[in-house]
Chains A and B, each alone.
Chain A
């Protein structure tokens, strides 16, 4: 086990119990005088913490793998177009029958699946032997960006078609992204696909390492670009789709975490996937706790909003540093 993984594991072991105590009702572990403390812990705080770990871990690992795949330190799950198509699917579920029941997660996962399929269809052949090497990855990025903007246009359309002001409010609130008031059911929706996806991402590590040297050199090292592309589409779809299904759109985790972790690794993409998963889990857990305890009139700060507020300056800082030539 590498040092970053160890440090992050220790941090998580410390952070998870603390996160369970924090919230509108503070629980003192030594004097549990709060009524229903056990219920609050088991039915509210624990699923919320597990959800933060799963969503954050999935987004962190997906971001790390995508940066490696696209050889672009600015890549983020949103760029693949999978988070936006998942969100589009979820938005449509509000129009069809409201947010109740299983409809939303089913629609979000379907959206992610369709996004994956479209992406594969558009970029089919791009990584195949006959094509110009190097064009494959550019085409893949561009089709992802096109999917993302198409999804946001269709989402805006869906909003304008919202049947009632109430439905509109509901959609907008969900789109902001949060993991408040979630139950164990949401954990069961989110965790299994995320775990499968992260394991699949980690198993692509060696291929991503080879891509460091460019697509041609990677092929000469035995990487099958078609195979890798399918694995990336499936694993990013699983992790990001599952996250969006239960938590809405939470951006910038996949961008920030790999950046913060990278200096502590040997900078091979494969060395980054597990630490980024743990780092993403930690970031979302801590951010969610802060959202919970920050005093805000009329409720709590939305997690998606908080991370966007944190992520945008981070992104700008990265851009400025890259312009200075020290990425």
Chain B
């Protein structure tokens, strides 16, 4: 794993969707990107993944400019999970996970086998290894797709709405496994719609609004009630203990 390489955006702007966003991300942390609809969350993540080129500014991985990097080199370091859980052909979980080895065409077979087996273990898929994806539940499919990203052994895991369509238990399980990855040295960046997930599980939260980076800090500061009121336009307060907080919204129009 290429751990420990910094990923940073330097004043990036993109066609009205992002406006001068600068942020240095740290490996070993779970960073959540939050914001209302249309705030530019997915656009920022795609820029950080090198999938969209900003009009102004650069994204750097270590000392290199992401835009100038060969796609395969980038693919080995930055794993990206798109928001749509698409699998066009009805392959088994193991074959699906093995697609994560595509950026490593020349790697020894043993290394590939180990990476695939580790990814399957990390996402708790051992029992489903030979099951075709058409017979997986939504949560199992999300884990299999995440295991595909892990099989590349990237230093950075970027996921757009990984918890969408997952029920409470599956969402908690997936995020726990992502935390494990961060503890192992990977950088984890998640676009999260659910503020409670960001509050409870992220080490750092970026709040976007109208394409700008409005707040950046630990979740209890970046997502305090004031910020939520100003950015999302709703009044609410956090209930419960740290690590298990829930957001209680006050009735609208009061």
Residue positions of A touching B, CB distance < 8 A = 71, 129-130, 133, 206, 209-214, 216-217, 219-224, 262, 266-269
Instruction: Choose among B72, B82, B89, B92 the residue that contacts A212 (Cβ–Cβ < 8 A).
Output: B89
Please tell me if the beta carbons of B80 and A216 are within 8 angstroms of each other in the complex: yes
Please tell me if the beta carbons of B74 and A267 are within 8 angstroms of each other in the complex: no
Please tell me if the beta carbons of B86 and A268 are within 8 angstroms of each other in the complex: no
- B87 in contact (CB, < 8 A): yes
Please tell me if the beta carbons of B84 and A209 are within 8 angstroms of each other in the complex: no
Instruction: Choose among A219, A223, A267 the residue that contacts B89 (Cβ–Cβ < 8 A).
Output: A267
Please tell me if the beta carbons of B91 and A266 are within 8 angstroms of each other in the complex: yes
- B78 in contact (CB, < 8 A): yes
B90 contacts which chain A residues (CB < 8 A)?
A: 267
Give the distance to chain B from A323, nearest Cβ to Cβ, in Å: 16
Q: List 17 A-B contacts (CB under 8 A).
A: A129-B52, A130-B53, A212-B89, A212-B96, A214-B84, A214-B86, A214-B88, A216-B51, A220-B75, A220-B80, A221-B75, A222-B71, A222-B73, A222-B102, A266-B91, A268-B89, A268-B99
- B204 in contact (CB, < 8 A): no
A266 contacts which chain B residues (CB < 8 A)?
A: 91-92, 95
Please tell me if the beta carbons of A220 and B99 are within 8 angstroms of each other in the complex: no
- B103 in contact (CB, < 8 A): yes
Give the distance to chain B from A211, nearest Cβ to Cβ, in Å: 7
Please tell me if the beta carbons of B80 and A209 are within 8 angstroms of each other in the complex: no
Please tell me if the beta carbons of A219 and B88 are within 8 angstroms of each other in the complex: no
A209 contacts which chain B residues (CB < 8 A)?
A: 99, 102
Give the distance to chain B from A104, nearest Cβ to Cβ, in Å: 38
Give the distance to chain A from B28, nearest Cβ to Cβ, in Å: 22
Known: A210-B102, A268-B89. A222 touches B74 (CB 8 A): yes
- B49 in contact (CB, < 8 A): yes
Instruction: Choose among B51, B95, B105 the residue that contacts A220 (Cβ–Cβ < 8 A).
Output: B51
- B193 in contact (CB, < 8 A): no
B53 contacts which chain A residues (CB < 8 A)?
A: 129-130
- B212 in contact (CB, < 8 A): no
Closest to B83 in A: A216
Please tell me if the beta carbons of B49 and A213 are within 8 angstroms of each other in the complex: no
- B148 in contact (CB, < 8 A): yes
Please tell me if the beta carbons of A222 and B75 are within 8 angstroms of each other in the complex: yes
Please tell me if the beta carbons of B82 and A214 are within 8 angstroms of each other in the complex: yes
Give the distance to chain A from B119, nearest Cβ to Cβ, in Å: 14
- B79 in contact (CB, < 8 A): yes
A-B CB proximity, top 5 nearest? A222-B75, A220-B80, A71-B88, A214-B86, A222-B72
**C-alpha spacing A216/B50, complex, angstroms:** 11
Please tell me if the beta carbons of A220 and B79 are within 8 angstroms of each other in the complex: yes
**C-alpha spacing A277/B209, complex, angstroms:** 53
A224 contacts which chain B residues (CB < 8 A)?
A: 71
B145 contacts which chain A residues (CB < 8 A)?
A: 213
Give the distance to chain A from B85, nearest Cβ to Cβ, in Å: 9
Known: A212-B87, A219-B71. 6 other contacts (CB 8 A): A133-B51, A216-B80, A221-B75, A221-B99, A222-B73, A267-B89
B81 contacts which chain A residues (CB < 8 A)?
A: 217
**C-alpha spacing A220/B47, complex, angstroms:** 11
Give the distance to chain A from B128, nearest Cβ to Cβ, in Å: 16
Please tell me if the beta carbons of A206 and B102 are within 8 angstroms of each other in the complex: yes
Most buried by A among B46, B75, B89: B89
Closest to B92 in A: A266
A220 contacts which chain B residues (CB < 8 A)?
A: 49, 51, 75, 78-80, 82
Instruction: Choose among B86, B89, B92, B105 the residue that contacts A217 (Cβ–Cβ < 8 A).
Output: B86
B89 contacts which chain A residues (CB < 8 A)?
A: 71, 212, 262, 267-269
Most buried by A among B52, B73, B99, B152: B99
Give the distance to chain B from A45, nearest Cβ to Cβ, in Å: 39
Closest to B88 in A: A71
Please tell me if the beta carbons of B91 and A267 are within 8 angstroms of each other in the complex: yes
Give the distance to chain A from B243, nearest Cβ to Cβ, in Å: 31
**C-alpha spacing A267/B94, complex, angstroms:** 12
A213 contacts which chain B residues (CB < 8 A)?
A: 82, 86-88, 99, 145, 148
A222 contacts which chain B residues (CB < 8 A)?
A: 71-76, 102-103
Please tell me if the beta carbons of B84 and A210 are within 8 angstroms of each other in the complex: no
Give the distance to chain B from A107, nearest Cβ to Cβ, in Å: 36
Closest to B15 in A: A130
Most buried by B among A206, A216, A220, A262: A220
B52 contacts which chain A residues (CB < 8 A)?
A: 129-130
Give the distance to chain A from B106, nearest Cβ to Cβ, in Å: 12
Give the distance to chain A from B144, nearest Cβ to Cβ, in Å: 11
B74 contacts which chain A residues (CB < 8 A)?
A: 222
> B5-56: which residues lie under 8 A (CB-CB) from chain A?
46, 49, 51-53
B84 contacts which chain A residues (CB < 8 A)?
A: 214
Give the distance to chain A from B231, nearest Cβ to Cβ, in Å: 27
**C-alpha spacing A213/B146, complex, angstroms:** 12
**C-alpha spacing A30/B176, complex, angstroms:** 73
